């Protein structure tokens, strides 16, 4: 499994030697961009877009143009998430749309971005119940996208679930039924430990939440370590040690 450390600091791309996961909204509008020291992946910022306004504020063409710039100027971009439509109840309360409509728009946007960006964009399966996730996979196949042939398939709408068992049930069922190589978005530590043998990759920014509620590290002079790369790296090392000890090198690549 490849692990991407989530960050809201663009400068970390040029400072850290581990895979990073960063939102488009963090990079958007910057006149200059850092050069990446390691491979990284781009989050489209969909939850913030939809939860804040109930719709996407940019078009697929505009998003693709941003991605092209990041790939060229930052470098080492491994993949990008599509402009998907999350299915959490709080998001659907903002859009006023059904799960089925969110899924239809997710699949349609992936097709549009695949035409614009090629394999750089990955498909993301959305749903809320287990049945809805399997229905979303079927929508992709009906649209001509054979997910079992994709190197990575994102699983969305799982990071804010309260039940680790339900997350595991969704991911393991998708793997068993469709043999997908999956990326878990924002997977919590307990679920990541339980799914280390199934997920191809995962990301998390939970270190910042933990740092806001903890004293700073002894080596740090700031009041909190919520923006601290030293804290983030120590958190990452502890997390990966608990998933599969001795199976990861410093860059998060299997040894």
Please give the pLDDT value at position 163. 77
For the chain of 255 residues, list the mean pLDDT of each consecutive stretch of 10: 96 98 96 97 96 94 98 98 96 97 98 98 97 98 98 90 85 97 91 92 92 90 93 94 51 36
Please give the pLDDT value at position 250. 36
In this predicted model, what pLDDT tens digit does every residue of 86-100 receive, in sequence order? 999 999 999 999 999
Out of 3.40.50.620, 3.90.79.10, 3.20.20.105, 2.40.128.260, the CATH code matching 2-204 is 3.20.20.105
In this predicted model, what pLDDT tens digit does every residue of 97-112 receive, in sequence order? 999 999 999 999 999 9
In this predicted model, what pLDDT tens digit does every residue of 227-240 receive, in sequence order? 999 999 999 999 99
Please give the pLDDT value at position 162. 66
Please give the pLDDT value at position 4. 98
DSSP one-letter string for 162-231: S-HHHHHHHHHHHHHHH---EEETT--HHHHHHTTTT-SEEEE-HHHHHHHTSPPPTT--SS--TT-HHH
Q: Domain boundaries in the chain? A: 2-204
Please give the pLDDT value at position 164. 86
Please give the pLDDT value at position 158. 85
Q: Is 208 within 8 Å of 226 (Cβ atoms)?
A: yes
**Residue keyed to tokens 């749903």:** 127
Query: How far apart are alpha carbons 105 and 254 in whole angstroms?
Result: 35
């Amino acid at each position: 499994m490849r692990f991407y450390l989530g960050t809201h600091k663009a400068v970390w791309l040029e400072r850290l030697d581990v895979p990073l996961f960063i939102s488009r909204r963090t990079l958007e509008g910057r006149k200059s961009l850092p050069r990446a020291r390691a491979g990284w992946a781009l989050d489209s910022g969909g939850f913030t877009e939809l939860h804040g306004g109930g719709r996407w504020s940019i078009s697929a063409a505009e998003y693709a143009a941003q991605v092209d710039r990041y790939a060229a100027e930052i470098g080492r971009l491994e993949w990008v998430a599509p402009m998907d439509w999350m299915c959490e109840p709080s998001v659907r309360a903002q859009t006023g749309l059904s799960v089925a409509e969110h899924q239809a728009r997710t699949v349609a946007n992936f097709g549009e971005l695949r035409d614009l960006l090629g394999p750089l964009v990955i498909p993301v399966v959305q749903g809320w119940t287990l049945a809805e996730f399997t229905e979303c996979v079927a929508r992709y196949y009906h649209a001509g996208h054979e997910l079992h042939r994709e190197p990575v398939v994102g699983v969305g709408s799982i990071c804010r679930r309260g039940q680790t068992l339900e997350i595991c049930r969704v991911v393991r069922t998708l793997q068993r039924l469709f043999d997908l190589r999956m990326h878990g978005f924002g997977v919590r530590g307990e679920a990541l430990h339980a799914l280390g043998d199934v997920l191809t990759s995962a990301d998390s920014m939970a270190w910042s939440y933990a740092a806001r509620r903890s004293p700073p590290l002894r080596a740090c002079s700031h009041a909190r370590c919520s923006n601290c790369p030293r804290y983030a790296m120590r958190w990452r090392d502890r997390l990966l040690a608990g998933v599969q000890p001795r199976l990861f090198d410093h860059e998060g690549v299997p040894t």
